[in-house]
Amino acid sequence: MTAPSRPVKTRFCPSPTGLVHVGAMRTALFNWAHARHTGGTFVFRIEDTDAARDSEESYRHLLDCMRWLGMEWDEGPEVGGPNGPYRQSERAEVYRDVAGKLLASGHAYESFSTNEEVDARRRAAGQDPKLGYDNADRHLTDAQKQAFRDEGRAPVLRLAMPDEDVVWTDLVRGEVRFAAGSVPDFVLMRGNGAPLYPFTNPVDDALMGITDVLRGEDLLPSTPRQIALYRALTDIGVAQGTPRFGHLPLVFGDGNKKLSKRDPQSNFDVYRERGFLPEGLINYLALLGWAIADDRDVFSPAELVEAFDVTRVSANPARFDLKKAEAINATHLRALPVEEFLARVTPYLATAGLVAEPPTEEQARVLEAIAPLAQERMIVLSDAVGLLGFLFTEDVEIEPAAAEKQLGAGAGEVLDAAVAALQELPEWTTPAIETALKEALVEGLGRKPRQAFGPVRVAVSGRTVSPPLYESMELLGRDRTLARLAAARATATG
């Protein structure tokens, strides 16, 4: 990877409109990781010039998502920096000033043609109107411009595209070339003076000293326009050259199509609410186009930063695989120290009304005892509500599917034998419970372990999957355990 002449400076510049897309957060992550890996600077900028769609709520939510993932920025909202303001809605004067310089230098020009006139000219020349603007206004005389103004027309401002091929070496894709004349002169500012994204984005990059632009592959067709604008901005002293581009692979959902905003899997909030760990989600997002090694999928954010090389990002589309994301998160969850696991899982139990916040002394005792066992059986933090809820309630609600599977024919005999074995137990400990149940159900009734303990597990926890049975029963205590076995016996058959 050829190093830029200046220290690396990347940016993430989303629009605060509605839901946060996982693909956008992947883009943020790659820019953040690239900056951190190279010892550079990461800029967070907000593109909020679309008053009809932007909202303060979405803006706040974006900041919260970034901080939750641990992607702190060096310049940007609430952090500050030498190149602010960092919200486009507060930079109108900047854009007017730069537009004036481009117009005065001849890099930009006033264009008065209407869409209808452009279409008519294309058709008259035997061309497809879909080719768009035909650069016809490049050389209007002052008299022609005045005549249009006298008609009441307000000109847009266009950039004059270069007459040669636009070529760059993409950090992800290698050489990319757009033929001369394939990209028409494009609009920088509307007739009412409102700046457009193809103008504001490179201007902000130039003034903020951005060296490396990592963005989605879907934006690649607009890159020749940006490069042409950077060259013009460099010529008038606004930019210090053209940044390097890297176009990241699209993120696909099911089928061979881009993961759309309408796809539930695209909504970043879903993963936070389910209880993905930030480090688990960062790990998986990094795999959407990059790999730390051919034989390794699990790594920490620090290991990502140390190993990240943008030139090793794949140009092929990345498929969002929820099962793989869950498996990676489960690995990170199991690796948490017990104290950290408890700190992260307790809010989910408290929100469900199962424990106090902070937990009572007795609740804390139960949580500390069950935590190492629960970690092995959880994928996301919210799993604790279903998995551990039975330990914090007086009675248990048995899931219908679990009852149907385990409380049918023969279950009554198992539950009767379990009650008989447990109610006279001298000491209520895990080893004693295990010995008593195995003697009564496996040896006494001749049942296979699955048939013997399935009805007991469902009676005690309400589910077919729970933390280890004997430990759970010890934590529940003798009275609650026996009461649940009796209640299940009343509904069981045989």
Q: Point out the residues that are catalytic.
A: 261
d(CA 17, CA 280): 26
Cis omega before residue 358 (within 30°)? yes
CB 95 within 8 A of CB 189: yes
| Location of structure tokens 């206004």 | 137
Among candidate residues 416, 365, 370, 407, the one with its CA nearest the CA of residue 390:
370
Partners of 28 in the β-ladder: none
Total Cβ atoms within 10 A of residue 406: 24
Task: Residue count of the chain, please give it.
Answer: 494
**179 burial class (0-12, 13-18, 19+ CB within 10 angstroms)?**
exposed
d(CA 206, CA 200): 10
Among candidate residues 242, 250, 241, the one with its CA nearest the CA of residue 173:
250
Q: Give, as one character, the DSSP assignment of residue 21.
A: B
CB 30 within 8 A of CB 22: no
Collapsing DSSP states into helix, strand and coil, what is residue 117?
helix
Partners of 175 in the β-ladder: 169
Total Cβ atoms within 10 A of residue 438: 16
Cis omega before residue 184 (within 30°)? no
Collapsing DSSP states into helix, strand and coil, what is residue 110?
strand
Rg, the chain, Cα only:
32
Question: Could you give the dihedral angle defined by the CA atoms of residues 79, 89, 69 and 339, in that order, rounded to the nearest 10 degrees?
Answer: 60
Q: At what angle do helices 338-351 and 361-375 cross, to 10 degrees?
A: 110
Distance of CA 230 to the CA centre of its chain: 30
Q: Give, as one character, the DSSP assignment of residue 176.
A: E
CB 187 within 8 A of CB 196: yes
Distance of CA 268 to the CA centre of its chain: 5
**139 burial class (0-12, 13-18, 19+ CB within 10 angstroms)?**
exposed
Partners of 246 in the β-ladder: 214
Distance of CA 382 to the CA centre of its chain: 18
Supply φ then ψ for residue 10, to 5 degrees. -110, 170
Partners of 159 in the β-ladder: 108
